[in-house]
Each structure stands twice: as structure tokens, then as C-alpha cells.
Structure 1
Amino acid sequence: VRTLDNKMVVVPNSRVKVTTNLSEPGIIRVDVAVKIGHDTDLRAAKETLLQLVGAFPRILRDPAPAVLLSDVDVLGKELTMRVWVRGDDYIPVPFALREEAALA
């Protein structure tokens, strides 16, 4: 079974044990959340993050990256950068994106 973020989940018939196979080659969706203040312009922040993911070399262009408003709370607004990467980039890309977003 493939999840929406393209991870393979295997449920064998002999024993009920769910295994998520992250070693399978292919592409995987990565969601990276960042918080912005309530006083920060939402459209400008989304555009800045879209430019950041658009210039990031290890992010795939198809499916297209997206920046989504994922939460609003007392601390601010949470934006999620939703990107697709090759399996080898599943671990390093979120860390690099968070750092670049903090510097933007």
C-alpha cells in the first residue's frame, strides 16, 4: 500500500505487522513547517518560501512544491512547505529547508 506521501507500507498475510519501507527508491513527500508572527504579511511570507523551495536543487519540480497555511494559533501562523524529494534526500532536505527559511 502506498501512502499519500508515497511511502510503501507492507502488511504481510502471515503476521499482522506494519512496516514502512523507506528504502524503496522513488520519490517521497516532505512537509516542513515554519512559524511566522501574526504581524508578518502572509502573502509575502508564502512568496518568499516558494522562491526558496524553487531555488533548492534537491527538490523535485514535479509534483510542484507548495506552501500552505497549516495552522493559526496564539503564537502565530504556521506555513508548511510541501515538497517532493528523491528517497536519498528524505532526511537532509527538511533540516536544510528549515535553516534556509530561518535565514530568509
Structure 2
Amino acid sequence: MLPYFKEIKLKDITPMRYQKFINYLEALDQYSTRTIEIIHGTMYDALSMAVKLKKISSNPLLLESGQSMKFIQERLGHKNITITSDVYSHISEKLENKSVDSYESYFNSIMS
């Protein structure tokens, strides 16, 4: 992880930048899926600890972990969900694709 993120400040790790890191690991074709999952878990825990230590204001991986906007809003203490939406407006390709797939599946189910 260090070689990839060594020039990037903690506060600059966005969901999109993190997704590019995961894509980079997958493209190397050196790591098993399980190893990448372990790396993801480690990154999530490290970023959560950074939030607790007030090094960053929120964990950029919360949304990618499948949490709802409402959960994130409550977790971060935002009074208005619009604030949360603005903070997490840069959704990763992975989440966008998941949403499109889910919609297509739903649409196909009602059309058949």
C-alpha cells in the first residue's frame, strides 16, 4: 500500500482514488481475491482509526462498504442529508456499476 499512496495525503484519499488502487492491485495479477479483500479490510480499519484520531473527518470507504446515506449521515453527525450527499458525491465506478446492474435486474424482472 505504501508505494501506491506514499505521495498522497490521508485527507486526499477519495473513494475514486481508493477504487483505482484496488483496480491497480487486481491488474498486477499477483494477488488473490482474498488477499485484496484483506488489504481492503486493513485500509477500512486504518481510515476508521484516522477518523477516531481526528486526522480526517470521515472514512471515504463508508459508502463503498455498502452503508446507506442515512447511516453515514447519522454516523458523521450531519444535520442534513444534503451535506452527506455533497461529501460523498464522487461515487466510485464500482458503486455506479452496482446501481446500474441492480436497476437493470429490477427492470428486467418487471418486464418479463
Q: TM-score range by the shorter chain?
A: under 0.3
Task: Give the helix-richer structure, 1 or 2.
Answer: 2
Give the structure-1-normalised TM-score.
0.23
More strand, by proportion: 1
